[in-house]
């Protein structure tokens, strides 16, 4: 697993040339990339959500497209459209910006639900269907979406099906005083993202994504993941708990985290470290919980506190 660890650290260190003081968040973003998952970066304006996505795309040798979601966008603006060619007298498909390996969807909650639904097939099946024809998307394929949680005017909440397709939801938060001063120093003459270079090839990335699936996970740890997800469905403060896709997300993320830290096996600590980020956005709290200001993250931590951590088991 040394090769996986080396490549992951290479990407993390390159992104950290731009994103200052957010190593944990950068590592989570890289984990999502290694797991071929999609990431929702949610926070207040101006903390580096878009820059994070750009930095990740520049660090790997993947094609990149940015989609600025607005209320007047149509699904065809995302997936592409068939145009009639006067010369050949045939319809030709013009691919939309979703036909890239890393797609930045900026301010995803500003588009209407109709346009947001254009991402559903692409994020799950890695394909788009236009006028009855299906077009496969290049591998690896990743959607990095950003949204501002406090801007409710002119926004449309993401439906449950859309949120469930995001492997992780990450919050960056404000930088510390020291880090913010360093940001000013680094941007005195130009933005550091402009000088960012590629550090990983597409072939290396694909090899790492395949290698992660070989990481060993004990049966007890698998049962631990399943029990956590099941408890989110029966929690008294929950209206809608996590889906099975949430369990799969933790499973794959734990394998990637183990490899990133140089291990060829998963620990229960990996599960506890990733549970909130992978499950909180999949949980809808009940009306009584909302009145008491109980959020999904609190419910995840409550579940983790109640479920016993599995003990060690000798590998056969």
Q: What is the pLDDT of residues 209-239, one digit of tens each?
A: 999 999 999 999 999 999 999 999 999 999 9
> Three-state SS for 99?
coil
CATH topology of domain 2-188+197-208: Rossmann fold (3.40.50)
pTM: 0.89
Looking at 1.10.8.80, 3.40.50.620, 3.20.20.140, 1.10.3720.10, the CATH number of the domain 215-306 comes to 1.10.8.80
pLDDT score at 315 = 53
Would you list the domain boundaries of the chain? Answer: 2-188+197-208, 215-306
Six-digit token string for 78:
């995302």
- Burial degree of 120 (CB within 10 A; 0-12, 13-18, 19+): middle
- Burial degree of 197 (CB within 10 A; 0-12, 13-18, 19+): exposed
Can you tell me the distance from the alpha carbon of 186 to that of 171, in angstroms, rounded to the nearest whole number? 23
Positive or negative torsion for Cα 55, 58, 62, 64 = positive
Tell me how long the chain is: 316
Which ranges of 261-295 does DSSP label H, i.e. alpha helix?
268-279, 287-291
Each residue of 95-115: pLDDT tens digit? 999 999 999 999 898 888 888
> Over 70: is that where the pLDDT of 150 sits?
no
Can you tell me the distance from the alpha carbon of 30 to that of 253, in angstroms, rounded to the nearest whole number? 10
Q: In what order do the strands lie in the sheet with 142-147?
A: 64-68, 102-106, 142-147, 39-42, 168-170
Six-digit token string for 158:
């993401």
């Amino acid at each position: 697993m040394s090769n996986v660890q080396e490549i992951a650290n290479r990407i993390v260190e390159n992104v950290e040339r731009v994103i200052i003081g957010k190593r944990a968040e950068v590592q989570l973003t890289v984990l999502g990339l290694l797991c071929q998952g999609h990431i929702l970066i949610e926070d207040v304006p101006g903390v580096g959500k878009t820059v994070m996505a750009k930095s990740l795309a520049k660090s790997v040798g993947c094609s990149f497209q940015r989609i600025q979601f607005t209320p007047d966008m149509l699904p065809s603006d995302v997936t592409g459209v068939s145009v009639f060619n006067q010369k050949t007298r045939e319809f030709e498909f013009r691919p939309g910006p979703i036909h890239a390996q890393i797609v930045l969807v900026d301010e995803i909650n500003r588009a209407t639900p109709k346009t947001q639904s254009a991402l559903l097939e692409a994020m799950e099946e890695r394909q788009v269907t236009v006028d009855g024809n299906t077009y496969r998307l290049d591998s690896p394929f990743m959607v990095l979406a950003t949204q501002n949680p406090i801007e409710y005017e002119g926004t449309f909440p993401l439906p449950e099906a859309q949120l469930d397709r995001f492997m992780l939801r990450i919050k960056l938060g404000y930088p510390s005083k020291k880090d913010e001063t360093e940001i000013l120093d680094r941007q005195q003459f130009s933005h550091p993202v402009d000088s960012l270079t590629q550090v990983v090839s597409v072939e290396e990335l694909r090899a790492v994504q395949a290698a992660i699936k070989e990481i060993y996970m004990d049966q007890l740890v698998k049962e631990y993941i399943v029990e956590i997800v099941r408890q989110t469905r029966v929690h008294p403060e929950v209206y809608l708990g996590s889906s099975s896709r949430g369990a799969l997300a933790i499973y794959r993320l734990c394998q990637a985290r183990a490899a990133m830290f140089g291990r060829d096996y998963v620990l229960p600590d990996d599960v506890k470290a990733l549970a909130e980020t992978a499950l909180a956005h999949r949980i809808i709290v009940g009306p009584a919980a909302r009145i008491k200001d109980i959020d999904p993250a609190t419910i995840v931590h409550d579940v983790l506190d109640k479920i016993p951590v599995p003990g060690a088991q000798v590998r056969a």
